[in-house]
Structure 1
Amino acid sequence: MSDDAAKASWLAEQGRKPRERLVPIPWSQIHSLPRREPIVGGLLDRAAMSVVFGGSNTGKTFWTLDLCASIALGQEWRGRRIRHGAVIYIAAEGGLGIEERLTAYRMHHGVEAADVPLYVIPEPIDLCKSSADVELLLKRLKALPAEPHIELIVVDTLSRALAGGNENGADDMGSFVRHCDRLRMETKAHVLIIHHAGKDEARGARGHSLLRAATDTEIEVTKSDVSGVATAEVVKQRDKPSGDKFSFALEPIDIGQDDDGATITSCAVVDAEQPAKQSKTASLPKTAQIALRALAEAVDECGQPAPSLPQIPFGVKTVSQDQWRDQSYLRGISVSQGDSAKRMAFKRASEQLIGANRVGIWDTHVWIAA
């Protein structure tokens, strides 16, 4: 079934008639077009698409879940009006860990999950290679209660939803965008995509530029190395002013114990003052800057959830020291190509980063420190 046929079938089942395509509308009748319908006042609209991106360990998933919960609960968010509705959260990355984060939210805010229309899909999805997963997802969504209406679909993250596709390729990214368009057009929900920042953070989200061209709202999440406060800043807003900032911190919440009696800890989002603008790497020697960027890239590409150990912060992703070292070599940490010179440069840079509390290390595990 083609995308147009599937859309017509969906609308027919909902008792709605699809609008005829490519019909010229006179200026005098332009007011007859559907008006914007915000789901978060001044920020996100129905049937639109947004991207929330940032580096590893900046809190972008926590921030997004906080927003999702407000929509599902029908509660005001950051002083903005919310359109109450169902939320579909596709946890393609992190999977079952989302349960702990939602439990922390419930405990922090004192709310019950019963009858709250927030649904989690804790498994990968293919939004690139074929339409099979999109069609199955639409089928699952049609089986949900008709009320409240689905207002938000979250894809966490873009890289996992590409199912091995090339983020920098126009064909694969174009296919991803088309599938997201189908989701938002057939459900009239807002589609929010969680994504990673590129190697050069000043250039925004990584991947082919057509993603940004297709995005209505783009939000960058950064984190202060000094205060630990994170800020979600609206860096693109189609037909609306950009520049809004939402600063927040993560408050640890004890949510229970594991089978061995160890405390399980997650975090809840709390409002925070906006931190002063600061250089993320300017105070570091050049080799340390290279090593820090190499670690961020290694974590993005092959990081794994940290084991449950008291010496490692909850929720971070770690890589091995060998993975960090290999990535630092690839990024040219030493001008000399000799093995001895590269080893010495990496040793010195890693010691500087660990000593400055920019990098955490325990046994064979390495992570970016808050």
Structure 2
Amino acid sequence: MKLREKTDKNAKKIDHNWSDANDGIEQFRIKKSYGSDGYMHVLPWLVKHMVPASSVGLIYGRSQSFKTFFLIDKCCRVAAGLDYCGKPTKQGIVYLVAAEGGSGIAKRIRAWELENKTTVGNNLIVVPHTVFPTSDHQRQALIDDIKAECERQNKYIALVVFDTMSQCANGARENDAGEVSKYLNQCRSIATQVNCTVINVHHTKKDSDDFRGSSTIEGNLDFMIAVKRNASSKENLTTVRLHKMKEASTRYRWELALSEVEIDATDEEGNFVKTLCVHSNKVVHLSGESTDSQKKNPSQCEKDAEWILELLKVNNGELSLKQIQEIVISKVGKVKSLGMRVSRAKKHLADGGLITSEKTGAEVVIRLVTHESPIAA
């Protein structure tokens, strides 16, 4: 089935007003404001409530968490100008640097087009090799190509994706704060010069839901998105939550379902190729307030979860399961089925995106997920 791309030949020529590189000392200028100047600034979105425009962010998740399919769904919707969960997107050109191999990406994009009965056309550009933002030559080559493509198509650039960060970091050590900061600063340089959002795709630590590498990664980003597969379900389900959002609420979560799509391409034996594609998604707002019924009749698991949250808050946001059990015993004595209750409460909090866990040796350590204030410095 052939899908046509819609074009507007009468579109007015766009003045992109590109920003200049600011690498030399002689070009440096101090930007400043006074007092509360700019307090009425409205945060522009690329994808409402999920991805700010003109920002730098990270998507991370375990292997086989469906993060690539989530990424393709988001890229295609921005390229095609389709809503995401009923919320608007800012349409524009998308560059997807598929550093781990672009051969399968085209099939997944085609599956998305067939599933959504539309086409992304020239708006989604796949680069099937690594690009190193820390290389002055390669970074400038990418910027020049983006500018040329925008001029040729008479469109704006919306998004640049590096999949993955480890492949595009040019050997930078993820646990080295200085090297990580340099890499992300160069990503921000790209975002600034072409006025777009830059996203890196990243992995988690081994046997953990935490992102891999230095904590400096979080400090250098405007937003972070965690993707976690629903392993308990037989269906292809995954949950997307906001780990960090610098200037807006993190109280949103998206639940995605994937299905197999047969595309109009064949393998060596002449059989039609099948691949997964996001076919439904819904957004859940995580209200900080409980309903009256929940206040009157919370389950034992919810009570235990709330108590563990309070323990984490007064212990710098981190405790091992053994430490939690020891605190409980020291305060109330022996409790029947304590290990099982703590384990269930841990799962309840993890499913709600309130904690992460990591196995360290024989210990399981849980950490409180810090939600940013709606307005951050």
Q: Do they fold alike, i.e. is TM over 0.5?
A: yes
Partner SS, residue 165 of structure 1 = coil
Which TM-score applies when normalising by structure 1?
Answer: 0.65
Q: Please report how far the alpha carbon of residue 200 of structure 1 lies from its aligned counterpart in structure 2 after TM superposition.
A: 5.0
Closer, same or farther in 2 for the Cα pair 1:12/1:208, shift >3 Å?
closer
The Cα offsets for residues 222-266 of structure 1, whole Å up to 9 and x where unpaired, read as 011121410011121112111311111221112221122243211
CA distance in 2, matches of 1:152, 1:23: 25
1:133 aligns with 2:138: yes
Aligned match for 1:235, one of 221, 243, 249: 243
SS of the aligned residue for 2:111 comes to helix
| Alpha-carbon distance in structure 2 between the residues aligned to 1:20 and 1:36 | 26
Aligned residue type for 2:141: L
**CA distance in structure 2 between the partners assigned to 1:24 and 1:188 by the alignment:** 20
Deviation at 1:94, TM superposition (A): 2.9
Corresponding residue for residue 63 of structure 1:
70
CA distance in 2, matches of 1:274, 1:174: 32
Secondary structure of 1:126's counterpart equals coil
Distance 1:23 1:59, change over 3 A: closer
Deviation by residue 1:311-353 (Cα, 9 ceiling, x = unmatched): xxxxxxxxxxxxxxxxxxxx989xxxxxxxxxxxxxxxxxxxx
Answer yes or no: is 1:267 the counterpart of 2:276.
yes
The corresponding residue for 1:293 is none
Tell me the distance in 2 between the aligned counterparts of 1:145 and 1:24. 30
Which letter does structure 1 place at the counterpart of 2:274? T
**1:251 maps onto 2:256 in alignment:** no
**Match of residue 322 from structure 1:** none
Equivalent position of 2:59 in the other structure: 52
Mapped partners of 2:191, 2:282: distance in 1? 34
Distance 2:93 2:30 in 1: 32
Q: Where does residue 93 of structure 1 map in the other structure?
A: 100
Query: Which digits, 9 at most, give the CA deviation of each residue in 1:96-136, with x for residues without a partner?
Result: 2111100111111111344x4111111111234x2221011
Distance 1:57 1:274, change over 3 A: farther
How big is the alpha-carbon RMSD for the aligned residues of Structure 1 and Structure 2?
2.9
Mapped partners of 2:260, 2:249: distance in 1: 34
Give the alignment of 1:216-235 within 5 angstroms: 216-227=222-233, 228-235=236-243
Alignment pair present for 1:205 and 2:211: yes
CA–CA separation in structure 2 for the residues paired with 1:215 and 1:200: 24
The answer as to whether partners of 2:76 and 2:120 remain within 8 angstroms in 1 is no
Letter in 1 for 2:276: C
C-alpha separation between the residues in 1 aligned to 2:120 and 2:78?
Answer: 13
Identity of counterpart residues, as a percentage?
24
Which one is further off, 193-202 or 102-111? 193-202
Counterpart residue identity of residue 264, structure 1 = V
Q: Answer yes or no: is the 8 Å Cα contact 2:79–2:123 preserved in 1.
A: yes
Q: Is the 8 A contact 1:162 1:172 kept in 2?
A: no
1:344-359 alignment runs, 5 A limit = none
Deviation at 1:71, TM superposition (A): 1.0
SS in 2 for 1:220: strand
Unaligned 5+ segments in structure 1 are 1-8, 14-18, 283-330, 334-370
Q: 1:229, 1:274 within 8 Å by CA — same for their partners in 2? A: no
Q: CA 1:112 to 1:240, structure 2 compared with 1: closer, same or farther past 3 Å?
A: closer
Count of residue pairs the alignment pairs up: 263
C-alpha deviations, 1:262-321, integer Å up to 9, x for none? 43211110225799x9xxxx9xxxxxxxxxxxxxxxxxxxxxxxxxxxxxxxxxxxxxxx
Q: Distance in 1 between matches of 2:29 and 2:41?
A: 15
User: Structure 1 residues 32, 232: CA separation in 2 closer, same or farther (over 3 Å shift)?
Assistant: closer
Name the counterpart of 2:86.
79
Task: Give the match for residue 215 of structure 1.
Answer: 221
Q: 1:35 to 1:245 in 2, by over 3 A?
A: closer
1:132 aligned counterpart, secondary structure: helix
Taking the aligned partners of 2:251 and 2:207, their CA distance within structure 1 comes to 21
Contact persistence 2:80–2:120 (CA under 8 A): no
Distance in 2 of aligned mates of 1:12 and 1:76: 32
Partner residue in 1 for 2:177: 170
Other-structure match for 1:142: 147
Q: How far is 1:152 from its partner? A: 0.8
Q: Any gaps of 5 or more consecutive residues in structure 2? A: 1-16, 22-26, 285-300, 302-320, 322-359, 363-377
The CA deviation at 1:84 is: 1.3
| Aligned counterparts of 2:282 and 2:89: Cα–Cα separation in 1 | 23
